[in-house]
Amino acid sequence: MKYSTLREFKQNKFSLESIPGDCKIHFIGLGGIGMSGLARILQDSGYKISGSDLNKNHLMEYFEKQGAEVYVGHAQDNLNNACAVVKSSAIKDDNPEYKKALENNIPVIHRAELLNALMTGFGQKSIGITGTHGKTTTTGMIATIFYEAGLDPGFAIGGEIPQLKTNSAYGKGGYFISELDESDGTVELYAPDVSIITNLELEHTDYYQGGFEQLLGTMERFIANTGVGSGVIINIDDPGNNALIDRIGQKNFITYSLENSSADYFAQIIQSVPDAKMKIFKKDDYQGEIGVGVPGVHNISNALGAVAASMECGLEFEQIKKGLAKFTGMKKRFQTVGFANGARLIDDYAHHPTEVAATINTARKIVDLEQKGRVIAVFQPHRYTRLENFWDEFLKSFDEADIVYICDVYSAEEKPIKGVNSREFSRKLQHKNACYIKGGLSSVADGLIKEIQPGDMVLTMGAGNITKLGGIIIDKAD
């Protein structure tokens, strides 16, 4: 999204009050995790919705069962008396539903505008989580804490909480917890009462063509929106966050750290695998020990951010401890999907070099702790542009895996770039057991079944359709 468009949105803030209660709101891309979450909240709060997507999935089937009009494919007739249309930055200008909305003067609402209206429109205290990595998991942790505390929170997350079987809720308990996407600059639209910035690293270079400085500028404007009296909680272990602090200077941040005991919130790691355990300190005052049902140092950092936000909102430490003990991870975030040939199959959304390295590192620690099996990384690059822009960084991300398979690039409708492909990448990868594995998921599964052994941990990583690979392997191995 262009900055000029963001500025226009800021000047003309969308409000739920502008849409009549009997209005039917149409979602272009209803099957997406973010769009479906917002649609569910609107539906639960009494609005009528309809929606379309290129393929029907379980999210669309949910709305269909609730009586919503659901369409497979995009067509002008799908609007069918809708009086408002919601779209994301992924929807192109030539989309027939978007074009019809403009031609017929039907209000078009960006998903970020709608989320901002949901954060502010119900009179709730808003908690927003942003950053390059870890925001989905951190948001899920906070939502689980508030839910287990009986506070009936509203929330909107870019991933599903398995034990709650949803990624969003209307909520009537006075809190709204939301993941704030920085990928297209729309994070500038929000002004939550409490914010968390997990970390900052260059990503989404299709939008941040000005590099890391552009990202810092976006986050500076986001913080400026929050105003006096709002709390901005920030992880000071992260170099990108520290660059933001140096840039802003005067903001009274609330800090958290695993490395600096002088931070406002500090965690001393007890163990990072197979589950995470830590001791929590608030301004040198020992609060107690907390365990989380997910592994990895990065998840200890995520949990500490969740602790900080919850305590700043007035929750008791024992409520927070109870909630985090119930948290078992987010769907597609180091999620165990099953077993095949005695190997554990883990699916993870990792599609950035830092995320890939962190996922493999966590698996390495678990396998070494158990003293059996190998770490087998199966990576599907997501978008040719991302593979090109982070080529050298990706080459360093797989060192701790025993075996690496590189699948064909998931294009996400991008055109191929000469010399940027999985075969060439696997050739450049300096790893003694790395290879390119050609073909669709069924062919990839056939190749893996021949390789995996009891005790192995198989990681399927990427933001494309590789998330289906574990299930295919299980079905074929039976």
Is residue 215 within 8 A of residue 234, CB to CB? The reply is no
135 is a catalytic site residue: yes
- Residue 457 is classified by DSSP as E
Q: Give the model confidence (pLDDT) of 251-290 as tens digits.
A: 789 999 999 999 999 999 999 998 899 999 999 899 999 9
| Alpha helices (runs of H) in 227-296, residue ranges in sequence order | 239-248
Chain region(s) in the chain for CATH 3.90.190.20: 335-477
pLDDT of 441-455, one tens digit each?
999 999 999 999 999
Do 459 and 376 touch, CB atoms closer than 8 A? yes
pLDDT at 1: 53
Nearest to 144 by CA among 119, 117, 121, 167: 167
Token pair 């505008």 is found at: 113
Q: Give the fold, CATH level 3, of 18-109.
A: Rossmann fold (3.40.50)
Please identify which of the residues 120, 132, 136, 138 carries the catalytic annotation.
136
Transcribe 129-155 into DSSP letters. Answer: EESSSSHHHHHHHHHHHHHHTT---EE
Model confidence pLDDT, tens digit, residues 31-74 = 999 999 999 999 998 899 999 998 888 899 999 999 899 999 99
Give me the phi and psi of 48, to 5 degrees please. -90, 140
Q: How sure is the predictor about 438, in pLDDT bands with cuts at 50, 70 and 90?
A: very high
- What residues contact residue 182 under an 8 Å CB cut-off, 6+ apart? 130, 131, 132, 204, 215, 218, 219
CATH of 122-326, one of 3.40.1190.10, 3.40.50.2000, 3.40.630.30, 3.60.150.10: 3.40.1190.10
> Rounded to whole angstroms, how far apart are CA atoms 274 and 291?
11
Grouping H, G, I as helix, E, B as strand and the rest as coil, residue 293 is: coil
CA 29 to centroid of chain Cα atoms: 17
| Upstream peptide bond of 381 is cis (omega within 30 degrees of 0) | no
Q: Distance between CA atoms of 93 and 102, rounded to whole angstroms?
A: 10
Catalytic pick from 179, 182, 188, 203?
179
- Contact (Cβ atoms closer than 8 angstroms) between residue 135 and residue 180: yes
179 is catalytic: yes
Considering only CA atoms, which of 178, 31, 183 is closest in space to residue 114? Answer: 178
φ, ψ of residue 26 to 5 degrees: the values are -105, 130
CB-based contact 346:358 (threshold 8 Å):
no
- CATH 3.40.50.10490 is the classification of domain 335-477: no
**pLDDT one-digit tens code per residue, 93-138:** 999 999 999 999 999 999 999 999 999 877 889 999 999 999 999 9
Q: At what angle do helices 441-451 and 469-477 cross, to 10 degrees?
A: 60
Distance CA 311, CA 283 (A): 12
CATH 3.40.1190.10 residue ranges for the chain: 122-326
Per-residue model confidence as pLDDT tens digits over 383-425:
999 999 999 999 999 999 999 999 999 998 899 999 999 999 9
Query: Where in the sequence of the chain do the CATH 3.40.50.720 domains occur?
Result: 18-109
Query: Mean pLDDT for the chain?
Result: 92
Percentages of the chain per state (helix, strand, coil), in multiples of 5? 40, 25, 40
- Three-class secondary structure of residue 456 per DSSP: coil
Cα dihedral 321, 325, 329, 334, rounded to 10, equals 110
Residue 410 has what pLDDT? Answer: 96
388 is catalytic: no
Nearest to 270 by CA among 291, 287, 256: 291
Q: Report CA 421 to chain centroid distance, whole Å.
A: 25
